[in-house]
Every structure is written in structure tokens, then in C-alpha cells.
Amino acid sequence: MSNIVITIARQYGSGGRTIGQMLAKELGVEFYDRDILKLASEDSGINERLFGQVDEKPNKSLLSRVINKVYHGELISPDSKDFSSEDNLFNYQAKVIQELAAEGPCVIIGRCADYILKDQINVVRVFVHAPKDYLIARTLEHQSMNEKEAEKFIEKTDKERADYYKYHTGRNWEDARNYDLCLDSSRLGFEGCVKAIIAYMKVLEEEV
């Protein structure tokens, strides 16, 4: 495979992260998820704990703002009082994502990577979703909670991801137009999703 980067956005419980890991292993490329937070911390000098606190979720200070802070590639100076703000934490994660994509083929999970890399032609943008009952069933396999609690947890997590995405991109997280592929993991299974992504990559390579 050529230098193609795959970004995967995913509903909680859909298995998007696992699919990403399987895909990276199949392709023999790097896989990035929470390691992006550590790399952004090392690059900026900002405590990694702060990155973790706002990882794919906006806090109330962001949600209270009327205007979204759509990312345009800027970084806030260390001299500014806003250097460790949530906006700049995102900016540094975006910088790391761009650098990782430039280094070579890889799989990147979440964190608005599809938008950050939207102007690059070598990127395949994937959204993994599934019906509610499937999401709940998978959540119950990994979390100690009842069905009602699982449903609320999924709704809360996905709303946080959607709000975070909207704030930083100005786009709707579940809008299929943001992605090249939208895959239902309950129908295809994890292996089927991996095969679908690879098949799309092969077609893309032929067209380029």
C-alpha cells in the first residue's frame, strides 16, 4: 500500500478502535489513539493530564460559547495566558496528527483527524457506527453496568464527541458527507470492516 492515512471516527461500542488496530496490523502500519496526547504534551510542554481531561469532550466553558473555535492550523504562543487553554490543547494535538500523517501510512483514531487532514488527498476517512442494541450489548461486555446505564453512557459519550467535533470543525460529527466510508460494524463484523476499508484503498490507488 502507498502512503495512505486512515482516520476512524466511531460511535461508542461500535468497535471502531478495535477495527483500527486490526487494520493497522493487517497493513503493517502505525496505530495512534491516546498516544497522541502524550506526543502533544511532549511537544508543547503542557502537562499530559490536561490533555486527558478534555480528550474528545468539551467542558462547560467550551459549550457555553456561542461561536465555535474552528481549527485553522494556528498555535497560541507560550507567552499567552491562553497557552494551556482547551483551544490550544486541540491545536497541539492537531499539529501532532499532521506530523504523524506526514511521516508515513498510519491509522488514527478520533480527535477530529478527518477534519485536520481534510486537505490531504492520501487520507481515507471512516466513520464506524451500529444500531443502539448492538452498541449496548458490546458496552455491557466491557463495562460493569446495567442496560439502562449503558444506554445513557453511550448517549453521553457520543454527545461529547459530537459537541467536541462541532466546536473545533463547525461540522456535524455524524454527517456522512464528512467521510469516505460509513460502516455498520454490526452487519459487516470487524473483519468485514477491515476488508471494506482495504478494498476502498485499492480502488483509490487505482484512480490516482
Rg (CA), the chain: 17
The whole-number pLDDT of residue 66 equals 46
Per-residue pLDDT of the chain (208 residues; tens, 9 = 90+): 568 999 999 999 999 999 999 999 999 999 999 999 999 999 899 888 888 888 888 765 555 554 566 777 778 778 777 787 888 899 999 999 999 999 999 999 999 999 999 999 999 999 999 999 999 999 999 899 999 999 999 999 999 999 999 999 999 999 999 999 999 999 999 999 999 999 999 988 876 5
Domain encompassing residue 197: 5-207
Q: What is the CATH number of the domain that holds 185?
A: 3.40.50.300
Name residues whose C-beta falls within 8 Å of residue 74's C-beta, 6 or more positions apart in sequence.
Answer: 91
Could you give the number of structural domains in the chain?
1
Whether the model clears a pTM of 0.85, i.e. scores above it, the answer is: yes
